[in-house]
Chains A and B, each alone.
Chain A
Amino acid sequence: MSKHMPQERIISNNEVSDKVLAEQIAKLPNEMTPERDLWSGIERAINHKAQEIPKLKQSNIFVPSAWAASIAMVMLVSWFTFSPSINEKGSPALVKTQKESSVTQGQLVAFMQENFQQQKQTLLVSYGQPTVDNLPQAMQKELKQLADARESIRKALLTDENNADLLNLLDFTQQQELKLLQQLYRQYQVI
């Protein structure tokens, strides 16, 4: 480390001058020895922190998953709260297909549900048929909420004919559930 040397100034008697001070600064030892052993505390701290890292990683993984599930839940709650009317002009692709092919909504829901189950099964097989029970409790809860929401929409569709928005919400919920499952099992491949 460089040391700044103040300018010299004339002094008399035993008054400490800038020069003397500068000389003393230059003579200051670079090192001092602590009285107690510091390493043992450092070693303990870094080992303790090393153990904390996996926990932190786990919580970091949980955050995006929880957000995805929460967004889906908010959308569902909004849907049931505001009960939007059917907008013919804005009918999404799924409904157009349904109308053009004269397939009933019930059939379409059944087809979507079957398709969802197949995708889910394929996903689970690719991760070696893991069980949800081994996931952390909080994630099991998120998954269950999403599955419950999907089931509620499916039931609502059976009694609400030609509801394009609800149909698309079912599709969205299914996709979210698949994404969340994929994300969780990718991160917890040991399960």
Chain B
Amino acid sequence: MDSQINKETKVIDGQALFSGSNRHRADDSEQAWIAQAKQGSQSAFYQLYEKHHRQIYALCWRMLADKDSAEDVCQEVFVVLWQKINNFRGESKFSTWLHSVATNVVLGHLRKHKNWIQRVFSIEDQGPNLAEPSVDLTDDSTLTILDQHIARLPERARLVFVLFAVEGYRHEEISKMLKMAVGSSKSQYHRARNLLKESLTASDFISIDEELNHE
């Protein structure tokens, strides 16, 4: 195992590699980091973390709609990645494989932490809770307006929407992940889309967007 990692140096090195125009060089670096991480190098693993954690955090945040949970689960994803990195055979892009690992970790987290009332009474989400949204739409200016509205979707509709529309999974894949019928995945997606359009319309999104574009 590597000794203590000098984060400042690593970040600077990482940025230097990725700010360059040579994409192949960055890809080669990533392949080298993966190979080193497989051998137990924590500094190489840190480079992989540094390159990918913001994307993974975005995935976690969108699926969980909660900042603290997203941070915790994002950490869990990288701990799992450290344990499973030897399973990566290079048959797909590393980022694609990592996203699938992350998706599974998030879904596992949701299953583990599902409210016991929901388990007992099989309560599916009853529509967006507009009176008491899970995310205060004014509390995080760093989020896009659409992200703020996605966070207010009912859980199942939100998961399907994020996996299909944002992550690019097919309904067949989503149905397996979420243990639901393909038709249910499609209907949840349409439900999510309609809810989003309704809530965006209600918040006068187009006027706001036009104003922002004029600025």
Chain B, range 60-108, C-beta contacts under 8 Å to A: 61, 67, 70-71, 74-75, 78-79, 82-83, 96, 99
Give every chain B residue within 8 A of A38 (Cβ-Cβ). 53, 57, 71, 74-75, 78
Number of B residues with CB within 8 Å of any CB on chain A: 44
Closest to A31 in B: B54
In the complex, the answer to whether B54 meets A6 with C-beta atoms within 8 Å is: no
- Interface of A: prevailing SS: loop
Closest to B164 in A: A4
**A95 → chain B, closest Cβ, in Å?**
53
What separation, in Å, do the CA atoms of A70 and B144 have in the docked complex? 63
Give every chain B residue within 8 A of A171 (Cβ-Cβ). none
A38-B74, A46-B79 in contact; A31/B146 too (CB < 8 A)? no
Chain B, range 181-209, C-beta contacts under 8 Å to A: 193, 196-197, 200-201, 204-207
Number of A residues with CB within 8 Å of any CB on chain B: 34
List chain B positions with a Cβ less than 8 A from chain A: 1, 5, 7, 42, 45-46, 49, 53-55, 57-58, 61, 67, 70-71, 74-75, 78-79, 82-83, 96, 99, 142-147, 164-168, 193, 196-197, 200-201, 204-207
List chain A positions with a Cβ less than 8 A from chain B: 1-4, 6, 14-18, 20-21, 24-25, 27-36, 38-39, 41-43, 45-47, 49-50
In the complex, the answer to whether B147 meets A28 with C-beta atoms within 8 Å is: yes
